[in-house]
A and B are shown apart, each in its own frame.
Chain A
Amino acid sequence: MNSSTYTQFVASKRMGICDPIQQIGMWGDFKGSSFPDTLILEVENCLESEMPIMEKRLDNETEEPSHVTVGRSNIYEPETSKRIDKMNRRLAQNREAARKSRLRKKAYVQQLENSKLKLLQLEQELERARQQGLYVGGGLDTSQIGCSGTANSEIATFEMEYGHWVEEQDRQTDDLKSALNSQIGEIEMRILVEGCLNHYFDLFRLKATAANTDVLYLMSGTWKASAERFFLWIGGFRPSELLKVLTPHVEPLTEQQVQEVCNLTQSCQQAEDALSQGLVKLHQILAEAVAAGTLGDGIILPQMTATIEKLEALVRFVNQADHLRQETLLQMSCILSVQQSAQGLLALGDYFKRLRSLSSLWSSRTSEPA
């Protein structure tokens, strides 16, 4: 591919070596000749590296087109002055064209980077939508989200594992339903119940790892369905609320059980309140840390670093909240019979399923044209 113009062959202003007039003489007769690709590339390379083009070309040139007149002899001919003007104009145009070309290239690369980010976001949304039960043509392998950095890939792993966790939970909920309808033996029921409880404990383990990676991400609840996020309390469900959800479905309760469930609910609420208040104090400490010094002075790095250390206290809170959730479930299973536990777990499983459905419905509702 030969260029028939010499728009790319631009004289670099940074040339110190050659006398400009000499240079003109060299190039004057190149008009209309075809240029080798390497010349164009070399020129572009020179532009990138800001090397004097003329210098480079002179070094590499082994043969010269015969019609080129080198040297000063034709500079002083009278008609050359017009050609010098023309030449100057063309050189100026060339410089301008090269400059525009560089800008275009920069813009293109920037566009590519933006598209890459957008793609990443879309893939993540897709995965979330899939988790919420929206069927989105399963061909996409969203587990290979192009992540940069270990933290991102760990979070992506967490989202993927959570997706699997949800699928398994739905399966277990269905199993519970069939088991309760089919009157299976107590031992089998107990195994089922323990399996369900352990599944919840698996979630808390998953979350503990994620909390160490990015506790703010976990606290934000973006990994949960939108309706679930509305009920978010320290990175998950509020245990006392859950007790209120499942209690009506574990009939019949003995009087002692009623009392015990009541006590458990109350203790749970007290523990939640204490943790919430601890979090309020952490808010205060963080706000003070961020606002320390003179606001308006901008960002001071050591201050930011110190604040990050304070943020890490959140990890313990999330762990503590999950511990509370785990203990609540355990205690409930101690108070209830195996049959009742199965009923309670079914109620919970279905409750979460409905919340996720609600979230999908909500998404489709808000994306519908008005």
Chain B
Amino acid sequence: MDKVQRMTREHGVVIFSKSTCCLCYAVSILFQDLGVIPYVYEIDHDPQGKEVENALMRMGCNNALLPLVFIGGKLVGSTNEVMSLHLKGSLIQLIKPYMSV
């Protein structure tokens, strides 16, 4: 829980992912195309990955729905939510503070 909170506060855009998950990769590409470099945490590459997974589940996130995206410390959701927000034009507003020049 601490680790999750720490990560989501330290970085503007955090994507909880698995290295084998191609949809997670797609979402990180989207953010990059929009001018943000997301902090991608690969759950399967960290020995503490299982704890992070559990923490995420306790936060009410269904782990089957990786990628999980946090912007500005707040949970945005999975791919569906990110896509919907982007089509509405809201995603750009959310990531503006974290865009690299």
Contact = CB atoms under 8 A, between A and B. Distances in A.
Interface of A: 260, 263-264, 267-268, 270-271, 273-275, 277-279, 281-282, 285, 310, 313, 316-317, 320, 323-324, 327-328, 331
26 contacts: A263-B89, A264-B87, A264-B89, A267-B87, A268-B87, A270-B30, A270-B33, A270-B86, A271-B86, A271-B87, A273-B30, A274-B26, A274-B27, A274-B33, A277-B26, A278-B22, A281-B22, A281-B25, A310-B20, A313-B22, A313-B23, A316-B23, A316-B79, A317-B23, A327-B87, A331-B88
A320 B21 CA distance: 14
Most chain A CB neighbours (cut-off 10 Å) among B22, B79, B89 = B22
Contacts of B59: none
Q: Which of A275, A278, A316, A327 has the most CB of B within 10 A?
A: A278
Majority SS at the chain A contact face? helix
B32 to A, nearest CB: 9
Given A260-B89, A278-B23, 11 more contacts: A270-B30, A270-B34, A271-B83, A271-B86, A271-B87, A274-B33, A278-B26, A278-B27, A310-B20, A317-B23, A327-B84
Contacts of B27: 274, 278
A297 B25 CA distance: 32
Contacts of A313: 21-23
Contacts of B89: 260, 263-264, 267
A278 to B, nearest CB: 3
Contact of A277 (B29, B79, B86): B29
- Which of B21, B27, B87 has most chain A Cβ within 10 Å? B87
